[in-house]
Each structure stands twice: as structure tokens, then as C-alpha cells.
Amino acid sequence: MSSRYLREDLTFSQANIQVLEEADVGGKKHLYLKGICIEGDKKNANERIYPRHEIIKAVETINEQIRNGNSVLGEVDHPDDLKINLDRVCHTVEGMWMDGTAGCGKLKILPTPMGELIKTLLTSGVKLGVSSRGSGNVDDRTGHVSDFEIVTVDIVAQPSAPNAYPKAIYEGMMNMKHGHKLLDIAKDARGDKKVEKYLKEEVMRLIKDLKINKGE
């Protein structure tokens, strides 16, 4: 049985996501997402079942990486492989833990261009979901997953709102008259309230143009 690429999406409400703003020891504020990253012991939308003990092992592996000083980077949307694309990184996984049969996590939004866009969407009320990305073996008869490993957790759009993908924002910017300039502004938005306000206004204008749904 060969290992497969495994991706599981959860909506904002399914993941019980909390959007938090917390200050570090130096008083600098950061934005976080906290919630369920993968559900266990029940058949999901992809007809797969992740036993609780498999999720426990995967969560511990992620935490060991973090304890060893390795950054677990996550992206906007999810690619079709396990590679991390640095130009699309928007957060780090700060830690994971078990809550019953579910694997939960805390994601820290980074001051990268895509991180600034995610921050703008979240603070504007757009509901984003999460997607675990990893590998494992799947029993085609029962759907049970074994030898499961989580590579990262990505931030994605609501499955019920396919046009709400952050990717659409990114591509929309690229097609705007001053889109490249706006992405450069996103790089420099870190903590500058005037720049953040301008970025938010431009992104919200783009959201309106794309008719993106803020739905639950």
C-alpha cells in the first residue's frame, strides 16, 4: 500500500475557529487563528476515517518539529503536493493538541504579502477555513487511514463559497491596474495603520468586484 497525498478541508464553523489578537513579550500584537485542524474517528466528506491514535501521532510529530526549532509554514489555499511554496506562505503553525478525537492547532499570521492579505480578509469579516495537508495509507474498502503524517495546515476559503478563495484576491490584484504595487504595499504594511487602512479598502473593493461571499 503506497502513501497518498491527503487533504481535508474544514469550514470556519466546522473548525470552531477563533480569530485572536495577542501581544508578544515585547508588546507587539499578532493575529492568530485557533481551532480544529482535523477530525478523527468519523467518516469525513472525502469518505476517509482518521483513527484518533493516528492523529495523536501526527500531532506529536508536528510539535516535535516545533520544539526542535523548525518552523511549520502554512500557505494560502492548498497546492496539489506536499511542497511548501514560500511565495504563498501566510502563517506558521505555533502548536497542535488533541481535543477529544480532533487535532487542534494555533496559526500565527505572518507579515508576508499573503499574510497581510489574510489579515485584511479576517479583520474585514471574511470567514476562512483550514485544511490539513499530509500523507498516509488509505484502506480503499473501509476508508481507514494509517501511517498518517501532517505536513502543515493551510488557510482556505469556505467550500460553500468557491469564489472566495484568497487565490482569487491574489489573481485579481495581478489583473488590477496597480495590482503589483498593491502587493508591494502589502509587504510594507506591517504595523503602519495608514497603509493597513489603504490596503484594507483596496482589498474590500476587489472583494466587492469579485462578488466574494462573506458567508458562514
Mean pLDDT of 159-181: 49
pLDDT(171) > 60? no
In a domain, 175, yes or no: no
Question: Is there a contact between 109 and 33 (Cβ–Cβ < 8 Å)?
Answer: yes
pLDDT(43) > 70? yes
What Cα–Cα distance (Å) separates residue 45 from each residue in 42, 72, 91, 158, 186? 10, 26, 26, 14, 35
83-139 confidence digits (pLDDT tens): 999 999 999 999 999 999 999 999 999 999 899 889 988 988 888 999 999 999 999
For residue 165, the model assigns a pLDDT of: 44
In a domain, 172, yes or no: no
Question: 99 is in which domain, residue-wise?
Answer: 4-161
Cα-based torsion angle of the residue sequence 92, 94, 96, 99 in order, rounded to the nearest 10 degrees: -110
For the entire predicted model, the pTM comes to: 0.77
pLDDT(164) > 80? no
Mean pLDDT of 76-86: 88
In a domain, 185, yes or no: no
In a domain, 75, yes or no: yes
Using a 10 angstrom Cβ sphere, with 0-12 exposed, 13-18 middle and 19 or more buried, the burial of residue 143 is: middle
Number of domains in the chain: 1
